[in-house]
Structure 1
Amino acid sequence: MFIVCVAACPTGIAHTYMAAEALEVLGKEHNWEVKVETQGSTGIDNEITLEDVERADGAIIAAEIAIDGMERFENLKTLECSVADPIKQSAAVYETMIHIINN
């Protein structure tokens, strides 16, 4: 399974990168291929491409702000959550994403 993710918080520093790391760990734990884009004070890093979106099974948007390029995910099954959720509740994020993809 391939999941694209975006992590973004208002300042785009600590929580953005903590969430990105948590999403990568979540992917490894469940044998998902994961690509995590971060949006923050330094701009966009590891940008998700159109090719990434086309082959993705779903998207996780862990953000406290409106993200740039949200329209890229309009045809994907998408979980929108708090930037803290992957950090503090990774099991719930996993279970919810599986439920969304399978329904």
Structure 2
Amino acid sequence: MFIVAVTSCPTGIAHTYMARESLIKAAAQRGIEIKVETQGSTGRENEITAQDLARADAAIIAADVSIAGAERFDPVPTLECSLSEAIKKSVKVLDEVVEAVK
């Protein structure tokens, strides 16, 4: 399974990257391949490409603000959650998205 994700917080500094790390760790525990784009104070990093979206089984948008390019995810089953959920309950978030695409 391949999941793409975007993390973004109002200031685009700490919580954006904390959520990214939590999702990556949870995905590794579950044997899931994940690519996480961050939208922070320095702009987009590790940007999700059209090729990534074409092979994605699902997407997670963990953000407390509107993300740039949200329409890219329209064709992909997408779970939206807060950054707090992605940081504190990353395994639960991943389990929910996996269950949704089964």
**TM-score of the pair, normalised by structure 1:** 0.95
Maintained 8 Å contact 1:7/1:17? yes
Deviation at 1:99, TM superposition (A): 2.1
Query: Secondary structure in 1 aligned to 2:87?
Result: helix
Quick one: percent identity of the two aligned structures?
A: 54
Partner of 1:51: 51
Root-mean-square deviation (CA), in Å? 0.8
Moved over 3 A (4+): none
Q: Distance in 2 between matches of 1:24 and 1:91?
A: 10
**TM-score of the pair, normalised by structure 2:** 0.96
More displaced stretch, 73-82 vs 85-94: 85-94
Structure 1: which amino acid aligns with 2:37? Answer: E
Maintained 8 Å contact 2:85/2:93? yes
Q: What number of residue pairs does the alignment pair up?
A: 102
Q: Which runs of 5+ in 2 are unaligned?
A: none
Q: Which runs of 5+ in 1 are unaligned?
A: none
Structure 1: which amino acid aligns with 2:100? Answer: I
